[in-house]
Amino acid sequence: MFQDKIAFITGGSRGIGKACACVFSEAGAKVIITGRDLTTLNKVASEIESQGGQVLPVKMDVTNPDEIKMAFAKVMESFGRIDILVNNAGVTKDNLLLRMKEEDWLTVIETNLTATFLVTRMAIKIMLKQRYGRIINISSVVGVTGNSGQANYAASKAGILGFTKTIAQEVASRNITVNAVAPGFVDTVMTQKLTEATTSKLLDQIPMGRIGVDREIAYGVKFLASKEASYITGEVLNINGGLYM
Ligand SMILES: NC(=O)c1ccc[n+]([C@@H]2O[C@H](COP(=O)([O-])OP(=O)(O)OC[C@H]3O[C@@H](n4cnc5c(N)ncnc54)[C@H](OP(=O)(O)O)[C@@H]3O)[C@@H](O)[C@H]2O)c1
């Protein structure tokens, strides 16, 4: 399905990003996984390679513009093109507004939103020349609904939706689609930090009565990158077990 396609995934070392890397690789794509810890990325790459995939692990802190430039140079040297970009790297630093430190606001905005801008700008230059590209930005249900205690995170994820729709309009005529996936509550390191009480309260609000798994998000990302989704752009795919509809 994705033979000859090059997929670049930020935050590919675990969780939803790793699931995306596995799903694209299983579908025949060559995959670039990035993150801050090269040792972990190398382990993930070995896992995928043992299943017959081709992976390039690259250290790239999405808050570091120099590392982003170096990563893109390395990818272009290795593959010469980028067909699919998944802006997935993300963090939370939760607190109620009055207790939220400015540095926690900035870390979340820079990692989740500014990085999406910086990485997309690099990728778009390449995709415009190719006259082909598929960009999928990972937002969150919280970016649509808001969530008490997550002002920084919700603002970053809502920002991603505005960014997605804007860039979709800017590049639509060049055969580049830009879409967002807004996951609900997914079982990853990010949500394992939540207290049991918060988890059980959240579960009560999910019509399907269970938390999602990383691959359930990755399959939506894969669909938006597929040729079946060629006429979909500026869209937000909610994958949340009915939590928001
Ligand atoms: N889990 C959920 O319920 C849920 C719901 C909605 C949306 N999301 C979104 O889905 C995405 C993936 O989340 P997840 O649940 O899979 O979280 P996760 O397990 O914590 O994984 C986060 C990934 O982002 C990378 N990352 C974090 N900061 C980075 C930085 N500065 N530079 C480069 N990479 C960085 C991490 O790698 P390193 O730490 O090794 O750098 C890791 O690979 C995030 O954007 C998150 O907001 C998750």
pLDDT in tens, 82-136: 999 999 999 999 999 999 999 999 999 999 999 999 999 999 999 999 999 999 9
Angle (CA) 91-95-97 rounded to 5° is: 120
Query: Domain map of the chain by residue range?
Result: 6-235
Alpha helices in 172-195 (DSSP H): 189-192
Give Cα 127 distance to the centre of its chain. Answer: 18
Average pLDDT, the chain: 97
Q: What is the pLDDT of residue 193?
A: 83
Task: Determine what percent of the chain is predicted with pLDDT higher than 70.
Answer: 100
Greater confidence (201 vs 2) lies with 2
Contacts with 67 (C-beta within 8 Å, 6 or more apart), sequence order: 59, 60, 61
Q: What is the pLDDT of residue 196?
A: 86
Q: Which CATH number fits domain 6-235: 3.40.50.720, 1.10.1740.10, 1.10.3720.10, 2.40.50.140?
A: 3.40.50.720
Question: Which of 20-24, 34-38, 193-197 shows the lowest mean pLDDT across its residues?
Answer: 193-197
Q: What is the pLDDT of residue 195?
A: 84
Is the CB of 13 inside a 6 Å radius of any atom of ligand 1? Answer: yes
Residue pair 21/89 in contact (Cβ under 8 Å)? The answer is no
Q: What is the mean pLDDT of residues 14-30?
A: 98
Task: Establish whether 153 is a catalytic residue.
Answer: yes
Contacts with 104 (C-beta within 8 Å, 6 or more apart), sequence order: 93, 95, 152
Q: What is the mean pLDDT of residues 202-215?
A: 96
Of the candidates 132, 153, 219, 231, the residue annotated as catalytic is 153
Residue of minimum CA distance from atom 16 in ligand 1: 15
